[in-house]
Amino acid sequence: MMWHGVKQPRNPWSDGPEYITQCPIQPGANFTYDIVFSTEEGTLWWHAHSDWSRATVHGPIIVYPANGTTYPFPQPDEEFPITLASWFKGDVMELIESALQGGGEPNKSDALTINGQPGDLYNCSEEGTYKIMVDFGKTYLLRIINSIMNEEMFFAVAQHIITVVGVDGAYVKPFKSDYIMITPGQTIDVLVTANHTPSQYYMAARAYAGVVYDNTTTTAIIQYNGNYTPPSTPSFPNLPNYTDTEAVMNFTSQMKSLSEVNVPKSIDVRLFITISVNTLPCANNSCEGPNGSRLAASLNNISFVTPDIDVLQAYYRQIGGVYETDFPDYPPMVFNYTADDLSDDFLTPLPGTKVRVIDYNSTVEMVFQGTNVMQAAENHPMHLHGYSFYLVGKGFGNFDNASDPEGYNLVDPPEVNTVGVPKNGWATIRFVADNPGVWFMHCHLERHSSWGMDTVIIVKNGSTNGTSMVPPPNKLNPC
């Protein structure tokens, strides 16, 4: 189980990802988590972190302003968590297991849902469609969570402008928009004022296209209280087209921290990380990927292999042979990352359990560079456990080390725990490595993570007890 976006200072023991900070909880067994909150305020969420079990095991975490403080915006009249999720016919654990065995694409989901209900556009019961009742003139806080497995989502409310006020458990400078784009792993808090003709309006969500994606549309209804003749169909929002990459950039570019923040200016540890979908050779070309290969994914051409003992335990007890500490600071070669003609077998990745060890309190910069290997470029939501970080810049094409840093926002960049790296583009994050522990970093598109688009950041202890990992709980989960 993981507490997505909860930084868990000095306490990786309760972070949750299987074989990274613990071994999975076996059926009938139990494990007690110690969830330590610090600076988070807003919407976070929890989910299972074992294979694809998060499809059904997830829920919101809401952190309210501390006693005696208020929201940095007018107090909403009411609030609703809006959880987007995937629905599969069949057993999701079996689905990913057989996909990994065969080496091909896992099945797409059969529906997308809002608070557990697919809504009126699917061939199933309309009675369950999720509905919010509103009063004219009141303002509502929607805490939107994208728990979907493999799709980034556009979301909008018919005829109502929304005001974005928070992202990933931190406030942002409020801005208005007709729609949002939310990646798996992200949360976005928005205000909606019921200021239209009392009626029924759809809120709807559908994918921003990946290489393979569920193109269905999930809906819920905002229904005004009062006496009026309900429309035969509620009005429908204008969602951006599936492939509207510009709409994604236009939306995400508006996110800024509420006020000036303390962004690291001089950098101790600099990583340049390419993000690729790849293929691995398969005996007798008998797998279900392109030309009989096995689908894989990588960071800096290392395709992460999940160990049998969790990395945290191996690190703490100094058990050898579980992981290696040579995750590279840059890809094995410089190439035109976003070219159109990169072949399917361009740079076969190296499978391995490679981690990057970082000294306590280092200032860290990571530039994520999406690649077009296999013509499989898409927006990758990179998520780091144990931290939130500042998203200081992003753009399309190959990162230019000379000119692109000039455009960094070092004044009020948004503080997030997941960054959508633009399709065929790059994104730069900065943070201070002040949380000692073992922290998973991975793409939050589940099939990419299953294919190896992951690594682990180990932040060493500082020099005092207060800057070191807390001791392990009395009862660790057996492997």
Site for Cu ion in 352-391 (CB under 5 A): 380
From the CB of 48, what's the least distance to Cu ion, in Å?
Answer: 19
DSSP three-state, residue 97: helix
Residue 149 in the binding site for Cu ion (CB under 5 A): no
Contact assessment for residue 287 and residue 102, using Cβ atoms and an 8 Å cutoff: yes
By C-beta, is 383 or 448 nearer to Cu ion? Answer: 448
Exactly one of 172, 445, 456, 459 binds Cu ion (CB under 5 A); that residue is 445
Residue 447 in the binding site for Cu ion (CB under 5 A): no
DSSP three-state, residue 448: helix
Rg (C-alpha) for the chain, rounded Å, is 22
From the CB of 139, what's the least distance to Cu ion, in Å?
Answer: 35
The runs of H, that is alpha helices, within 384-473 are: 446-451
From the CB of 3, what's the least distance to Cu ion, in Å?
Answer: 22
Exactly one of 10, 49, 54, 448 binds Cu ion (CB under 5 A); that residue is 448
Q: Quick count: other Cβ atoms within 10 Å of Cβ 174?
A: 16
By C-beta, is 380 or 430 nearer to Cu ion? Answer: 380
Our measurement of the distance from residue 93's CA atom to the centroid of its chain's CA atoms, rounded to an integer in Å, reads 20
Q: What number of chain residues touch Cu ion (CB under 5 A)? A: 4
From the CB of 442, what's the least distance to Cu ion, in Å?
Answer: 9
From the CB of 364, what's the least distance to Cu ion, in Å?
Answer: 21
Site string for Cu ion, 287-326 (x = CB under 5 A): ----------------------------------------
DSSP three-state, residue 247: helix
Q: Which of 459, 279, 276, 466 is nearest to 380 (CA)?
A: 276
From the CB of 378, what's the least distance to Cu ion, in Å?
Answer: 7
By C-beta, is 167 or 382 nearer to Cu ion? Answer: 382
From the CB of 283, what's the least distance to Cu ion, in Å?
Answer: 26
Residue with tokens 């189980």: 1
DSSP track, 109-177: PSEEEETTB--TTSSS-STT--EEEE-TT-EEEEEEEE--SS-EEEEEETTB-EEEEEETTEEEEEEEE
Site string for Cu ion, 385-424 (x = CB under 5 A): ----------------------------------------
From the CB of 453, what's the least distance to Cu ion, in Å?
Answer: 5
Residues 153, 157, 158, 162, Cα dihedral to 10°: -120
By C-beta, is 441 or 443 nearer to Cu ion? Answer: 443
- Of the candidate spans 62-70, 242-250, 362-370, 439-447, the one that interacts with Cu ion by CB under 5 A turns out to be 439-447
By C-beta, is 84 or 221 nearer to Cu ion? Answer: 84
Q: Determine how β-strand 78-87 pairs with β-strand 111-114.
A: antiparallel
- Of the candidate spans 257-265, 333-341, 347-355, 437-445, the one that interacts with Cu ion by CB under 5 A turns out to be 437-445
User: Measured between alpha carbons, how far is 370 from 213 in angstroms, rounded to an integer?
Assistant: 18
Residue with tokens 């709409």: 247
Beta bridge partners of 456: 355, 440
Exactly one of 443, 457, 458, 469 binds Cu ion (CB under 5 A); that residue is 443
Read off the tokens for 212.
């393979």
Residue 23 in the binding site for Cu ion (CB under 5 A): no
Read off the tokens for 186.
């992200």
By C-beta, is 85 or 421 nearer to Cu ion? Answer: 421
For Cu ion, the binding residues (CB under 5 A) are 380, 443, 445, 448
